[in-house]
Amino acid sequence: MICGIMGANTGKPQCDIPIGAIKYTMPTRGAEFTKDQLVDSNAVKAALLAKMLLAKSNTSKVFTIPYANEAANNTGEAPTASLSDGFEKVLTDPLPKYNLTHAELGRAQNQAICQFNGWNDKLYFVDRNNRLAYIIKPDGGGKGFSVGNLYYPPPIPGSSNALNTTVGKLTFANPDEFKLSPIGLIQLDFNVADLVNIEDVTVVQKAAPATNVFTVGLIGRFTGIDAHPAYASALANMARWVVKRLDTGASMTLTSAASDSGNLGWDITVDSTEFTNLPSGTKLSINIADPTTLALASVYGIEGTEIIYTK
């Protein structure tokens, strides 16, 4: 933990640990860590992995942005006002700003992190010393720092420089969190980049529906790669698919999910009686199970965006 001495002593605190430059940023809408999840590196790793495997819609999900080769402090000067007596008054603390340089970032990765543009929720970060930084809560747990804005330029054709370099802009929203809040640092003995990263895939139609049988596939949202070759067997299980009624939110009963090598997809069969009893015009969503459910079945690396069918 980082610690310090309050009061008149302005010397260097004996147990002070300086925070290093930002290496990984981890946006979240509201994920927090309990005291027990912050006791050591192993506890952090287990808790972080569980949060990364949550569905995008879950506010406790933690995302991980790829490694930043450089983190340049771009914080401006404190704004001031001149008083009539010749003195100058500092109006407010400047917002902490950083330029995060990512070298050799892939096009699909660049497109993916652009989805965070305008982010103004919370964020954890790991510094150059591989320490997780967070705000210490009164109960000993941890919460993320407030973000004012996060921006990444979209991928464009390169210049004469061979490196595919992307520079993101991170602005923290509240200087008081660095000035007044207790900040915790946990030394990690693992590399955040080695934890499971999830690729967004889109559920697509691969053949016309045959009454209650839907033939669907998965295409990488940013890569355009068909996921069937990699997941043909792993997703040939009805427990790894979800079909829901959009009008009620109720899940439909599935009777089978089989790989369809001819169409590079899967045949998802809804219980025939349930399907027959659906009112005409009912909309159904078809998607793979959420990442946490898939992980319990040792299926890692993908999260789906649903396809909608109308009966």
Please check whether residues 251 and 214 belong to one and the same domain: yes
Tell me the per-residue pLDDT of 31-47, one tens digit each, with 9 for 90 and over.
Answer: 999 999 999 999 999 99
Taking residues 270-280, report their average pLDDT. 97
Last residue of a domain, one of 171, 194, 217: 194
Q: Is the pLDDT of residue 215 over 60?
A: yes
Cβ contact 71:105 at 8 Å: no
Cβ contact 196:255 at 8 Å: no
Residue 141 lies in a domain: yes
Q: Is the pLDDT of residue 1 over 50?
A: no
Tell me the per-residue pLDDT of 89-125, one tens digit each, with 9 for 90 and over.
Answer: 877 888 999 999 998 788 888 899 999 999 999 999 9
Q: Which of 19-23, 64-68, 179-183, 215-219 has the highest mean pLDDT?
A: 215-219
pTM for the whole structure: 0.82
Task: Say how many C-beta atoms besides its own lie within 10 A of residue 159's C-beta.
Answer: 8
Residue 164 lies in a domain: yes
| Structural domain span for residue 42 | 22-194
What local confidence, expressed as pLDDT, does residue 170 receive? 97
What local confidence, expressed as pLDDT, does residue 79 receive? 78
What is the three-class DSSP state of 76?
Answer: coil
Last residue of a domain, one of 131, 165, 194: 194
Please check whether residues 165 and 270 belong to one and the same domain: no
- Mean pLDDT, the chain, whole residue set: 90
Last residue of a domain, one of 152, 173, 194: 194
Please check whether residues 168 and 255 belong to one and the same domain: no
Residue 17 lies in a domain: no
Residue 139, both tokens: 């109960």
Please check whether residues 268 and 244 belong to one and the same domain: yes
Please check whether residues 109 and 149 belong to one and the same domain: yes
What local confidence, expressed as pLDDT, does residue 16 receive? 66
DSSP states along 97-146: EEEEEETT--HHHHHHHGGGTT--SEEEEEETTSEEEEEEPTTS-EEPEE
Give me the count of residues in the chain.
311
Using alpha carbons only, give the angle 1, 149, 62 rounded to the nearest 5 degrees: 50
Residue 8 lies in a domain: no
Rounded CA separation 201/224 (Å): 9
Rounded CA separation 92/114 (Å): 30
Tell me the per-residue pLDDT of 280-304, one tens digit each, with 9 for 90 and over.
Answer: 999 999 999 999 999 999 999 999 9
Task: Give percent of the chain above pLDDT 70.
Answer: 93
Residue 64 lies in a domain: yes
What local confidence, expressed as pLDDT, does residue 213 receive? 98
Please check whether residues 146 and 70 belong to one and the same domain: yes
Please check whether residues 171 and 69 belong to one and the same domain: yes
Please check whether residues 78 and 129 belong to one and the same domain: yes
Please check whether residues 94 and 144 belong to one and the same domain: yes
Domain count, the chain: 2
Q: Which residues of 97-134 are buried (b: 16+ CB within 10 A; e: fewer)?
A: bbebbbeebeebbbbbbbebeebebbbbbbbeebbbbb
Please check whether residues 221 and 127 belong to one and the same domain: no
What local confidence, expressed as pLDDT, does residue 105 receive? 80
Rounded CA separation 184/3 (Å): 8
Residue 224 lies in a domain: yes
Rounded CA separation 186/39 (Å): 8
